[in-house]
Amino acid sequence: MQRRQLIIGLGALAGLSSGLAACGKGDAAAPLKVGSQRGGTKAVLIASGALEGVPYKIEWSEFPAAQPLLEALGAGAVDLGEAGDAPFLFAYASGAKIKAVQAARSGGGATAILVPKDSPIRAPADLKGKKIATGRGSIGHYLLLRVIEKAGLKPSDISLVFLSPGDAKAAFTAGSIDAWVTWGSYVALARLHDSARILVDGEGILLGAGYEAASLKAIETKRPQIDDFLRRLARARRWAIDNPDAFAAVLSKETGLSLDVAQYTVRYYRFAPVPIDDGSVTEARAVLDHFRGAGAITSTLDPAAAFDRSFNGTVAG
């Protein structure tokens, strides 16, 4: 798996505080390997300054989408990583040894079905017979299933191709697909630079739930680092909601996105940390039921065990 790895060493490993070392099992001196999607966890932590004084080493790996990040998490290449509810649950149902350790909500508007500006597709029903690209098990995949269901269509009524965001963007620009279901900065790039039109977004359809997921091994062996990291992340997310312009400026610098694209992306980046509760499990069951109904997964694994509520105290920051 290809990934760009950056290592941040902030603070001396020998200077770990007794409070950090006491917050659970594990070797508090071990580095924490964190996966981040473009413009996600890494960007918001850097922008907010929440990493200042972190007393352990963080090894960052950046991924273009949730699927490869979750594959890396399941394989033990990273300890912790962010993903939307749909890809997280898709990976869990597929057998990944992972658990959600912190939740956040942002609304569903950041995910959208895009069509070329002059496309004859004007309503979801017009997707019948069309070639549509998204990532397998992604939040885009889930949105598409929900939208065509509401339009009275079946998965067999469309031609669905699974592509990485980069390949999907190239196919969309070349006109070799009729629609693209994507999220975040990819929507912003398509809208602002490729004159794409939003057919429908996830507002009112998607829950906008996202999770920081950790491997079972990391939960067992690196609990102090995970606990501390999640507290910093919760503070960073609240800072981003309160300081969108400052976040956009740093996001642009860190990712290479133009400022207009970063500002558009941040407009929908409102991930408010929330506790994992019984509602999380109920919602997860509904997501998996939709995937099963569409034939996307066959697993009957119940998602109740996919959530670790022992880190709920980190939501307060």
Report CA-CA distances (Å) from 76 to 25, 83, 87, 215, 281: 18, 16, 17, 7, 25
Would the pTM count as exceeding 0.75? yes
**Higher model confidence: residue 38 or residue 222?**
222
Considering the four listed CATH numbers 3.40.30.10, 3.90.110.10, 3.90.950.20, 3.40.190.10, the one that applies to the domain covering 4-106+208-316 is 3.40.190.10
290 band by pLDDT with thresholds 50, 70 and 90: very high
- Inform me whether the pLDDT recorded for 27 exceeds 90: no
**Higher model confidence: residue 206 or residue 24?**
206
Mean pLDDT for 237-249 is 95
Widest Cα–Cα separation across the chain: 63
What are the backbone angles phi and psi of residue 262, rounded to the nearest 5°?
A: -65, -40
Q: What tens digit of pLDDT does each residue of 294-315 get? A: 999 999 999 999 999 999 999 9
Domains 4-106+208-316 and 111-201 share a fold: yes
Q: How far separated are the first and last CA of the chain, in Å rounded?
A: 33
Domain map (residue ranges) of the chain: 4-106+208-316, 111-201
- Inform me whether the pLDDT recorded for 4 exceeds 80: no
Domain 111-201 falls in which CATH fold?
Answer: D-Maltodextrin-Binding Protein; domain 2 (3.40.190)
**Rounded Cα gap, residues 48 and 316, in angstroms:** 16
Could you tell me which residues come within 8 angstroms of residue 147 by beta carbon, excluding any fewer than 6 positions away?
Answer: 113, 124, 127, 200, 205
Mean pLDDT for 288-292 is 94
**Rounded Cα gap, residues 39 and 65, in angstroms:** 11
Could you tell me which residues come within 8 angstroms of residue 163 by beta carbon, excluding any fewer than 6 positions away?
Answer: 133, 134, 135, 171
**Rounded Cα gap, residues 312 and 17, in angstroms:** 21
Chain-centroid distance of CA 23 in Å reads 27
Q: At what angle do helices 41-48 and 223-242 cross, to 10 degrees?
A: 70
**Higher model confidence: residue 29 or residue 101?**
101
28 band by pLDDT with thresholds 50, 70 and 90: low
